[in-house]
Structure 1
């Protein structure tokens, strides 16, 4: 197979940078949510929409990109996507209110979402054969490293400059990447006739289905799920849009998403596993910054420094992963990665109110290695038996499943924290009663210290409030541990899926 020209290799390298930017921006704000929230005068329970709005919109665009790349070509789609991402990054930086930020983030995620599947499909079109393993390691490292170092980079930018630079940093990089791709990546020809057959109703139903599903999962715990009329109505809209979308996908001669790729067993199983990996990829980077900020009181820089070990271990593991991909059955390598990830979650699920960098270093490093060992073989398993003509659409579906897993995972994490936090608070309150011999002396001692330090306060009431705050803190720590245990269980339960796939050829060229 002919090696890609230098021009095409430069263009592909630029798409990898675009992929990195698009995935990075999902989590770059996670360590700096407190600062962004303060800058926008938003309530703490509203700040999560700064992340969720981006992810929801990106999820809508990703499956649409397969159709658009065929219609207007990979080069044009990527360039337009990169340009729009850059423009709306500036809009995010200059937003002065939460509604303005949420709208700008949604538009940033929507237009930028096409960069991810275009990069994936380009790698499989340009690098068939043996070179695909090397390129797959690069893609895997980039796609998993971006959300992992997002909090670290975001924390540094916020502390060194301001939270506005979380978005301003995209401007020069986005401009350069867009120009390079426009000048170099002419790898396919557009089919403009497809635009005349564009399924606008299919797009509307797909956006309604994915958007309302994420909203219901995100807001359901806060409003008591279907006890709230608004949530119940949106759930009904979600079900209706989902059914109509599937009807359009199976009856239209040219649907916006070709679902027939799921007829390939390796592809369907790979997408299911990608969904599970998405939960781990985005979920842990969401939970731990919350823990460090709410329990330990870390600032954005300290959170980033603590999580940086994962990114470092990913770099160190990448050459090992590339070597193992040539020596091991890729299914065994994937199983190894999933087991290591589950072990890292079990290890971290021993959080206390004193847990910090040294308690986290080894399990977070193990998580970094596990991500590389999972992501690279999943790519090969998923695409290795598809025909070249199916790659563009399949890349969109594959990336949709990973990000959908991440989005639903984040929403589920919020639900579990609310549910288990309430259960732990009730259990703790039942055990901290006046009948326990050590409770009253502890309160009396604390009240005496408060009275000595701040005589103007009501010491008994202040002591009770302190006890309540301690129970709230410990309940939250236990809830985060429950989330980590459930995440470990999810990865272990996903292991049997690996037995469903046929062994892919390491040098598969994309054909059957």
Structure 2
């Protein structure tokens, strides 16, 4: 039988309505309207700031690569380190919140992050950039929870699920907002502006959470020495898996033995960690619950819905980059995504009920499928404005699905008791992190393979005696004749231009294949979700009839 944890401080005299659902969560105090508004403003600012720091790196990664003279492999480590730290920190975040309080944990993390950013202003090199991203990933996890709880304080207890929806949805605004403001903020001749802005965000967050603190929570003794042994097994296992997914398409899967060694080490560490947890008296991870049918369905569904969201983060964005779009041209593109996420989040919160949770998830999948249909048949003439309708739908789906997905998992975990919440937090974070990484890695690999196939196919069709080919070469000859006099150099330039056109058209076709494949995945996920709903209703009617 599991040992009952002891309280570390006297429990406040809460009414039943004020008592938090779980230790570590703030009390549900009924605040005055002005104070609720302040909680909401602070919560939104903190929630957006949690994702904005990493958003700046993603938006400016090519320029940062140039600043530090990095290879593509080295540049890929910068966002990868953030993800490694973020997914690993969730292993201990929930228990740290229960034992020490979320407020203290978050404030300490912010102070450390501020100190590291100040140091980075003076020490600007690649190694320091990696260290800053690592600390940023550790800080983002408690900061996201902090923003969510501040927003929830702005709602009455009966409406706190709506606050949960808004908090989770607004956390996704960091990336599009970073793309929107980066061109006006970043000066390639003075990168200190970017780091100074990040520092300012962290200082504002710290000032806000210190000025208006969250209500008290129940603090209980939950940490055991065995928890840290589990952490030191699972955290590097997750980190190595992040490394494989981030570097696989760059190093190429079958050309780099280090990917194989990293994958083997990751598998061994994760398996050993889970086996160790399986036989503990008070486990950190409830492995028996992980093996149940309902939990496995949740894992698969959560992983796949984040996977198909890659239609936006990989296909649309990288296609436009391939077509030569720069940061300034992405601003209106991400403005549309920004408002799509806001609209989806507010729609999800406004229509919240127990009966609509699953319907919201299915609707999000349907919107992604529609977006894939709108984006199919790309050409080299496509520009950001051609993606506005589809990416608004994907943004809407992204804002809408995350809240219901979390709520489904929370309700399932609480049915088995509060001890299962740590497992769920790790599970939810892992599915969203690895779902996104897996989507980008898979589609990047698929796109590269299809590009090579189409390039070979197009090249084999180039016959100089073909009138169309000859006409195109003549056009290239005219364009180079004004600058190049040597006939041999002219011919080389013509073939070089032709090869560039072939490469571009091969990539266009490959991205169309990526979008089509993602649409197929969305169809299967939608059918699977509809089947599960129909089966659940049929079983419910059957049980009612038998009763």
- Is the pair's TM-score, using the shorter chain for normalization, greater than 0.5? yes
CA distance in 2, matches of 1:42, 1:384: 46
What pairs up with 1:51-70 in 2 under 5 angstroms? Answer: 51-70=79-98
CA RMSD of aligned residues (A): 3.3
TM value normalised by structure 1: 0.86
CA distance in 1, matches of 2:213, 2:350: 31
Change (3 A) 1:74 1:167: same
Change (3 A) 1:242 1:283: farther
Change (3 A) 1:260 1:114: farther
Matching residue within 99, 102, 115 for 1:74: 102
Cα displacement (A) at 1:340 = 0.7
SS in 1 for 2:482: helix
Corresponding residue number in structure 2 for 1:419: 449
Note if contact 1:274-1:401 (Cα within 8 Å) is conserved in structure 2.
Answer: yes
CA distance in 1, matches of 2:463, 2:115: 57
Change (3 A) 1:406 1:150: farther
Q: Which runs of 5+ in 2 are unaligned?
A: 1-16, 19-27, 538-547
Is 1:304 the counterpart of 2:331 in the alignment?
yes
CA distance in 1, matches of 2:247, 2:301: 26
Between 230-239 and 158-167, report the one with greater CA deviation. Answer: 158-167
Corresponding residue number in structure 2 for 1:85: 113
Between 477-486 and 460-469, report the one with greater CA deviation. Answer: 477-486
Is 1:6 the counterpart of 2:31 in the alignment?
yes
Change (3 A) 1:493 1:187: farther
Corresponding residue number in structure 2 for 1:445: 475
Cα displacement (A) at 1:460 = 0.2
Change (3 A) 1:381 1:374: same
CA distance in 1, matches of 2:173, 2:289: 28
SS in 1 for 2:136: helix
Is 1:484 the counterpart of 2:484 in the alignment?
no
TM value normalised by structure 2: 0.81
SS in 2 for 1:199: helix
SS in 2 for 1:184: coil
Between 59-68 and 152-161, report the one with greater CA deviation. Answer: 152-161
CA distance in 2, matches of 1:76, 1:101: 26
CA distance in 2, matches of 1:134, 1:161: 44
CA distance in 1, matches of 2:109, 2:308: 27
Note if contact 1:148-1:285 (Cα within 8 Å) is conserved in structure 2.
Answer: no
Change (3 A) 1:485 1:225: same
SS in 2 for 1:337: helix
CA distance in 2, matches of 1:399, 1:13: 25
Change (3 A) 1:162 1:345: farther
Aligned residues: 501
Note if contact 2:166-2:349 (Cα within 8 Å) is conserved in structure 1.
Answer: no
What pairs up with 1:155-304 in 2 under 5 angstroms? Answer: 155-158=183-186, 163-182=191-210, 184-191=213-220, 193-259=221-287, 262=290, 269-281=297-309, 284-295=312-323, 297-304=324-331
Cα displacement (A) at 1:203 = 1.6
Change (3 A) 1:231 1:403: closer
Matching residue within 481, 493, 498 for 1:462: 493
Note if contact 1:271-1:401 (Cα within 8 Å) is conserved in structure 2.
Answer: yes
